Amino acid sequence: MRDLFGLTQFLLAVLIFVPLERLFAARPQKIFRRGLLTDMAFLFINAGLVLAGVIAIMTAAILVNQSVLPAAVTQTIGDLPYLVQVPVVILIADLGVYWTHRILHVVPAMWQIHSVHHAVEELDWLAAIHQHPLDVMFMKAGALFPLYALGFSTEAIGTYLLVYYWQAWLVHANVRLNYGPLRHVLVSPEFHHWHHSSETAARDKNFAGMFSFYDVLFGSAYLPKGQDPKAFGVDHPMPSGYLALLAYPFVAWTAKRKRDDPSEVQPMSKGGEPARPRQSAPLS
Ligand SMILES: [Zn+2]
Ligand SMILES: [Zn+2]
């Protein structure tokens, strides 16, 4: 189980996505692109940090399960057959991902965390791991807290995590896959690539991880026919090294506090201007 999301699965992902990106490339792009070493640091160091957060989320959710929710409710849910639990778990978890992801975009302090993920300019499958650990923890809280609190089985939640793991690689992959009419139901690579687009019209759109119909339902879907996103990234400077990216939200929050504090003397910028959150679309 330990290696389920570890090295073996990652090597399997390399074997799948490297050739897949050669065969069905949406854009011409090198395998050994910029930022590859940083992504490896995200892969191997983030896991430990995130695990601590996930354990805290699970503990809090199990406490709610045992002390707040009526036993009859959690018992009924826990007794549902595995094949019924899995689709329900995926639907609930993705709704959690949708709203936590949207909050990460529209709340300026949260955007400083999430902009680490959007800093990737050469989008490919590895962008899935280019995420600040606080970002991963917050989204995992949105997905997993309700599941553990409601009492779904560990097997059903484990299946969701496995599906989400592979879906995350796929939607970031530089591949062109035609989902046909299913593109309005399931999140495709094209759908998530638009989420990463730096074009104004595509900003703060396409928040779902698995089901694009959540974006259709909540008015945030953006999938123009016959067009491809032209550029990715954010409109403010971002560092590129792992440690600098890890420190980035804290640096940005401190800089904002100083800017907002009238007693602080504002020093002249020497090229290290802290980032301002980008314009976010209002919640609709
Ligand atoms: Zn995002
Ligand atoms: Zn992404």
- Residue 110 is which amino acid? M
Look at residue 6 and tell me if it is in a domain.
no
- Ligand number nearest CA of 139 is 1
Ligand 2 centroid to Cα of residue 137, in Å, is: 15
Q: How many domains does the chain have?
A: 1
Cα 259 to ligand 1 centroid, rounded to whole Å: 26
* Closest ligand to the CA of 113: 1
Structural domain includes residue 246: yes
Give the domain extent around 118.
34-256
Q: What is the 3-class SS of 181-232, one letter each residue?
A: HHHHCECCHHHHHHHHECCHHHCCCCCCCCECHHHHHCCCCCCCCCCCCCCE
Structure-block tokens of residue 161: 């995590």
Nearest ligand to the C-alpha of residue 171? 2
Ligand that lies nearest to the alpha carbon of residue 104, given by its number in the listed order? 1
Assess if residue 265 is contained within a domain. no
Q: Which ligand lies nearest the alpha carbon of 128?
A: 2
Ligand closest to Cα of 280 equals 1
| Residue 126 CA: distances (Å) to CA of 21, 38, 139, 240 | 11, 10, 18, 15
Q: Is residue 261 in some structural domain?
A: no
Asked, for residue 13, whether it belongs to a domain, the answer is no
Q: Is residue 128 part of a domain?
A: yes
Q: Enter the tokens of residue 210.
A: 């698995």
Cα-to-centroid distance, 131 and ligand 2 (Å): 9
- Asked whether residue 19 is domain-assigned, the answer is no
- pTM, 2 dp: 0.87
Q: For residue 2, tell me if it sits in a domain.
A: no
- Residue ranges in the chain whose pLDDT is less than 50: 1-2, 268-277, 279-284
Give exposure, 160-178, as e/b (b: 16+ Cβ within 10 Å): bbebbbebbbbbbbbbeee
pLDDT at 269: 46
Q: Hey, what are 251's tokens?
A: 């640096």
Ligand located closest to 100 CA: 1
